[in-house]
Amino acid sequence: MSDFDYRARKAADAVRQQIAANPVSTEKGIRRAQRSLARGALIPSAVAAAVFLVAGVVVAVPHGRDNGTPSAADGAAFAVTGALKPFSTCDAVLQYFQDQAPEYLIQRAAGGNVATASGEAGGAAKRTAVPQQGRGSDSSASGAEPANPDSAHSTTNVQEAGVDEPDIVKTDGKRIVSVAQSRVHLIGLDNGKMRLRETLPDTMARNVFLSGERLLVFSGQTPGNSEPGSPWAGQQAVLTMYDISNLSNPKLIARLIIDGDVLDARLVGTQVRVVTVSSPDVDAPSPVYTSAGEISQRSMDELRAAVAKTTADDWIPAYTLEDGRGAEVSTGRLVECANLARPDAFSGLDTVAVSSFDIGSALQSRKTVGVVAGGEQIYATDTSTYVSTTEWNRDGSVPKTNLHKFVTAPSGASTYEGSGEVPGTLLNQYAMSEYQGVLRVASTVSERRGWANSRQTIEGLVTTLHEQDGSLRQLGQVGGLGRQDNESIKAVRFIEQRGYVVTFRQSDPLYVLDLRDAAAPKIVGELKIPGYSGYLYPIGENLLLGVGQSGLDQTIDNTPSPSTRRAQVGVQFSLFDISDPASPRRIDTQTYGGGAAAAEFDPKAFLYWQPRNLIIAPTNLQGDYRGKRAFRGLMLLRANADGVTELGRLATTAAYGAVNRSLVIGDTVYMLSDHALQANNLDTHHEIDKLIF
């Protein structure tokens, strides 16, 4: 997560707090999920705040939340099921939404305050909510980036070997494609010099895939029929395919426009998997409230009448495909009714779709399957894709994370396999991992106990699940991670049959888990140190690098009084010896002043260049009154059994913004900010070129 995305997560948390305080307002219509497009590179869907209109009421939710799943405050009873209920016809799809939507939307709009025929407040019919997250196939990959067989250039730091992830910079060693200021820049390399060959017309670009001569750009747009400047303009995801065999004259091949937003995507070989989430698009009258603050019976009747007039296409996301000349090739439902299904239990009104296609195609031979459920983030192996959703309950009860699993065949066709759930919330995609058919999920559970909920308890859990009879069923679970000091999970890394979890509040316990027996996972080692690691990366078999903050306690005036103690926070790289699971130890650190290493929030910002055993970390340091100078650029480090050593710092000009990516081609390292791409020699560290966007 970039610095912007980190702030966006904070904003989403603020939105979540507003939900509890003031869940309703008066606007018109049920609209497809709204996403903000106001950033340079679009906000990744897992952290942006989404806003959509429900039954004439503006409801703000964390982006990716299942917009339709009842919370405990809605009077819903939660139950997990993995049974998939396919829709055989579009009539069946329409009937489902018309049956489920009115009472649910009324309940959401009223906040549980609904006038009944007798004039008393009542609740909507109870429903059970469906699970929503899953995860993939057998993978023995440690998660560490393998040595590049070519050894000529670096690649994106990904979670699973062989499963590429879209990013804001890609290279094949001969050219560089970068996303800066929401534009895609094609850069040629001529005798070591960078030349900007072309800037693509996409103006809201998020990230890209590069495969051979094909470039797939993920971006967004506001529908043309939306009111100009309206904050409620619906989002459409745009996938644009280019042929960039000639960098100076890229050829537009096709453009696919989808209602909703792209959660994430993966590229395995030449097969692209794209996960999108969309909300329905239905007009409904604004509600009228009684003197008691309840939605009137007339408003409820009008809403039911509006829903009764809908068609299946009002509930299913649509797409439009254009050719390279901008002419419409086809349009219609993103998911055909026969390929859409719902879990056995009600899971809201959103549609999560998994679309797959060959990157060498013109986006015409897509295979799409959908489930009526919400989506938040994804984790994928070479064959499986898991989509998660966190259920935030307004009554303060423990949230749950639902998991949905899809499997993609070699032909590219994806199928829904089953669902499950775990208690609590997930940190990010690294909180999930599959090994030998078992899904391991790390979650943080926070709840209030005691008189008037006066005491909060927080702990981490690791749950193991496997697929059985169409469900992701729990095999085992171990808890207590960080429970003693009410600490939440800050970093997770699963490496084959071990798990490594960092929790933090004031200190930094590193837990080592033995996962060999999936039915009985257990904690086998613990190391308690100041600070925390926000990202973990394996260096070989026995070393683990942590990127985070030092959090060193510093006593003022030599007094231990809490009022005279403070936490000194600074960027810290920690090296752990994990050769003995029962006794992990930190063998060295490199600590700097206040600021952040980008990898703490965004794993793709981390680069381990294996041919030189070189850690390259975009880092931003703040200056202070002690004379420490601010720094923006790359930290070059080396880690081995003797410790972690700084080899140098490559600075860039502050005016170009924070550095958020790096890549290596030959003996040159490149650093990308939102305004420039700078090249330095890896041996001399001298700047050799700079391209200003």
Q: Would you tell me the crossing angle of helices 90-110 and 297-308 to the nearest 10 degrees? A: 160
3-state SS track over 135-170: CCCCCCCCCCCCCCCCCCECCCCCCCCCCECCECEE
Cα separation, 345 vs 343, whole angstroms: 5
How far is the first Cα of the chain from the last one, in angstroms, to the nearest whole number? 22
Other beta carbons within 10 angstroms of residue 97's beta carbon come to 23
Other beta carbons within 10 angstroms of residue 247's beta carbon come to 17
> Phi first, then psi: what are they for 35, rounded to 5°?
-125, 140
- pLDDT at position 507 is 59
Spatial strand order of the sheet with 49-54 comes to 34-35, 49-54, 57-62
Cα separation, 53 vs 31, whole angstroms: 5
Longest dimension (CA), the chain: 82
For residue 378, give every residue at least 6 positions away whose Cβ sits within 8 Å of its Cβ, in sequence order, or none. Answer: 263, 264, 266, 275, 385, 386, 387, 388, 429
Other beta carbons within 10 angstroms of residue 240's beta carbon come to 23
For the stretch 121-135, pLDDT in tens is 333 333 323 223 333
Single-letter code of the amino acid located at 290: T
Our CA dihedral for 447, 452, 455, 461, rounded to 10 degrees, sits at: -20
Task: Give the distance, in angstroms, between the CA of residue 302 and the centroid of all CA atoms in the same chain.
Answer: 38
Domain annotation covers residue 617: no
- Pairing status of strand 471-481 against strand 488-495: unpaired
Cα separation, 671 vs 662, whole angstroms: 4
Domain annotation covers residue 178: no
Cα separation, 599 vs 601, whole angstroms: 5
Q: Tokens in use for 602? A: 């965004």
Tell me which DSSP letter residue 289 carries. Answer: B
Structural domain boundaries, residue 63 = 3-130+283-308
Cα separation, 55 vs 27, whole angstroms: 8
- For the chain, state the CA radius of gyration: 25
Which of helix, strand or coil describes residue 404? strand
CB of 208 within 8 A of CB of 250? no
Q: Tokens in use for 243? A: 């042929």
For residue 233, give every residue at least 6 positions away whose Cβ sits within 8 Å of its Cβ, in sequence order, or none. Answer: 34, 222, 223, 226, 227
> Phi first, then psi: what are they for 511, rounded to 5°?
-100, 140
- pLDDT at position 448 is 67
Domain annotation covers residue 269: no
Which of helix, strand or coil describes residue 290? coil
CB of 591 within 8 A of CB of 620? no
Cα separation, 623 vs 494, whole angstroms: 36
Which of helix, strand or coil describes residue 212? coil
Cα separation, 71 vs 65, whole angstroms: 11
Domain annotation covers residue 79: yes
- pLDDT at position 597 is 96
- pLDDT at position 434 is 96
Spans of the chain, pLDDT less than 50: 1-29, 33-81, 112-150, 226-233, 452, 553-566
Closest CA to 350 of 420, 451, 436, 259: 259
For residue 496, give every residue at least 6 positions away whose Cβ sits within 8 Å of its Cβ, in sequence order, or none. Answer: 140, 142, 435
For the stretch 154-187, pLDDT in tens is 999 999 999 999 999 999 999 999 999 999 999 9
- Provide the mean pLDDT of the chain: 80
Which of helix, strand or coil describes residue 430? helix
Domain annotation covers residue 296: yes
- pLDDT at position 557 is 41
Distances (CA, A) of 378 to 10, 347, 444: 20, 18, 18
- pLDDT at position 52 is 25
- pLDDT at position 103 is 84
Cα separation, 622 vs 618, whole angstroms: 14
User: What percentage of the chain's residues is helix, strand, coil (to nearest 5)?
Assistant: 10, 45, 40
Count up the domains in the chain and report the number.
1
Q: b vs e for 376-390, b when ≥16 Cβ sit within 10 Å of the residue's Cβ? A: bbbbbbbbbbbbbbb
Domain annotation covers residue 74: yes
Looking up tokens 């980190």 gives 6
Domain annotation covers residue 289: yes
Domain annotation covers residue 158: no
CB of 372 within 8 A of CB of 335? no
Upper half-sphere CA count for residue 242 (Cβ side, 13 Å): 25
Tell me which DSSP letter residue 425 carries. Answer: B
Beta bridge partners of 663: 670
Taking the alpha carbons of 65, 533, 405, 481 in that order, is the dihedral positive or negative? negative
Single-letter code of the amino acid located at 403: L
Looking up tokens 């003693």 gives 484
Looking up tokens 């888990």 gives 513
